[in-house]
Structure 1
Amino acid sequence: MSNPISDLVLGFQDLVSQVPVLVQPLIVAVAGAVPFVEGEGAAAIGIVGGLHPVVAAIAGAVGNFLCVLVVVLLGARVRTAVVTRGGRTEEPPTARRQKVMRAYERYGTPGVSLLGPLLVPTQITSAALVSTGVPVKTVLVWQAAAIVLWTTAVTLLITGVFAFAG
């Protein structure tokens, strides 16, 4: 049985190797926008596909951040619409929301943003944060930091492995 994420990554790697060099960063950026692939996975796709590691990292991070930006802005609008809707009684929080709130209370926005990618995609972390009322600017700043950090770390790791392997 095949893994959908593995199939998707292999598909992106194949596509990167088949398109002209000038288009390759765009493919990597699109890959970075995909949850569970993220900036770090996209950078790996680009590097394996033959892109310079810096170009691959920037493209993957930009694609990841642009997707997070859209999610955060839409999530903030949805939250505003729900909160300002009159006559609505507040429903008890779901188990997932309670889990997010516990993590937020324990680690704050920086911790949830920086550690979140170990468990869930940045898009989901961002939506969860903004849905709880964390300001959009705060979510975007910390998600950008997390994307840059994780994408850089994976890029350096893969580049080091390739240099070591010769």
Structure 2
Amino acid sequence: MLSDIHDYLASIPTFYLCLLLILLSAVPFVEAHITVPLGIMLGVPFPVCCLIGLSANFLSVMLAVKWMKKIKKDTYSFTRMDRAKVLGKRYGVPGLALMGPILGANHISAAAAVLLGASIRSIYFWQLVSISIWGIGTGFLFLHGMSLFKEGSF
């Protein structure tokens, strides 16, 4: 069944696969660290997957930060956000951004940084660093893990 789904998705033109990767990368909890390996698995070249995944994910995080700046700081009620605020006070914006996918989504860590009163420039910078490390890192590991698996070394 999974091979049928993979064969169907691999038969879709690359342009439409790229559009699918853009949409998936912008979704919280899916993000670039999942869509880059997915794109590689579907046959999209690694640099293209990275460019698409990182840019779409970063743009959606930017929108989340802008949205959080507009709402009132006392109106949130979310367990992950409470945990993110505690971690943000302990590790700052860099630690919060780098732990973003572990917290559930980079969007949550960016929103928590806004609630902590961090500057927008530092939030954007560290989110870009985090998304790049996680997206390129998982893609690189998947790409080389897949090649090891195909060679029979694994």
The bucket for the TM-score relative to the shorter chain is: 0.7 to 0.9
* Alignment correspondent of 1:135: 119
- The alignment status of 1:61 with 2:45, answered yes or no, reads no
* Alignment correspondent of 2:35: 42
Q: State, as a whole percentage, how many aligned pairs show the same letter.
A: 27
**C-alpha offsets along residues 88-127 of structure 1, whole Å, 9 cap, x if unaligned?**
xx79x98765533321121110011002212210111111
**TM-score of the aligned structures, taking structure 1 as reference length:** 0.76
Report the CA distance shift for 1:40/1:127 in structure 2 as closer, same or farther (over 3 A). same
* Alignment correspondent of 1:52: 45
136-145 vs 97-106, which deviates more? 97-106
Q: For 1:104, which of 88, 92, 108 is the aligned residue?
A: 88
- The alignment status of 1:148 with 2:141, answered yes or no, reads no
1:17 aligned partner, one-letter code: A
**C-alpha offsets along residues 57-106 of structure 1, whole Å, 9 cap, x if unaligned?**
2211111111101101111122xxx37xxxxxx79x98765533321121
Structure 2: unaligned runs, 5 residues or longer:
none
Q: Provide runs of 4+ in structure 1 moved above 6 Å.
A: none
* Alignment correspondent of 1:33: 26
Q: Hey, what's the Cα distance between the residues in 1 that align with 2:147 and 2:58?
A: 28
How far does residue 149 in structure 1 lie from its aligned partner after superposition?
A: 0.3
Q: Hey, what's the Cα distance between the residues in 2 that align with 1:138 and 1:14?
A: 43
Report the CA distance shift for 1:98/1:27 in structure 2 as closer, same or farther (over 3 A). closer
**TM-score of the aligned structures, taking structure 2 as reference length:** 0.82
Aligned residue pair count: 145
Q: Hey, what's the Cα distance between the residues in 1 that align with 2:78 and 2:142?
A: 39
Q: Hey, what's the Cα distance between the residues in 1 that align with 2:91 and 2:16?
A: 39
The CA RMSD over aligned residues, in Å, is 2.4
